[in-house]
Amino acid sequence: MTKALRLLVVDDHPLDIELVRFVLEADGFVVESAVDALQALDRIPGFAPDLILMDVQLPGMDGLELTRRLKADPATRAIVIVAFTAYAMKGDAERMRAAGCDGYVSKPIEVARFAAQLREALALARDGPAR
């Protein structure tokens, strides 16, 4: 039996958090949440997520700045971070990657594919592209 994946969703919209929690817990993920960057920084050490689903637009420190900080810290550098945004405009994917995001998922989510998208992003970040 494989270990349940631990996901921290960082989002300031309660309905987004609840939808993510509902869909991913039904797929076997262990889900924790944070409503801003400071709460995320507080939760990461104790929760030890495999993956962070990071809203780009957060109050205070935005998700890309938090990603930069996490990727610069040896203690959190290996956590896979997937940007979670409704703002997927031309050039945004490059901006998210430049900040350290390992991938991105746009809002609104496709419920039927959401868990698989995150598992794929995790596998790609850990193992690199399939050959």
Q: Where are the domains of the chain?
A: 6-127
**Rounded distance, CA 115 to CA 105, Å?**
11
Q: Which fold has domain 6-127?
A: Rossmann fold (3.40.50)
Tell me the three state secondary structure of residue 37.
Answer: helix
CA distances from 46 to 18, 22, 27, 114 (A): 21, 22, 22, 25
pTM more than 0.85: yes
Do residues 102 and 82 make contact, with C-beta atoms less than 8 angstroms apart? yes
For the chain, give percent helix, strand, coil, nearest 5: 45, 20, 40
Give pLDDT tens digits along the chain (131 positions): 578 999 999 999 999 999 999 999 999 999 999 999 999 999 999 999 999 999 999 999 999 999 999 999 999 999 999 999 886 677 788 889 999 999 989 889 999 999 999 999 999 988 875 44
CA distances from 96 to 18, 83, 86, 89 (A): 24, 7, 13, 11
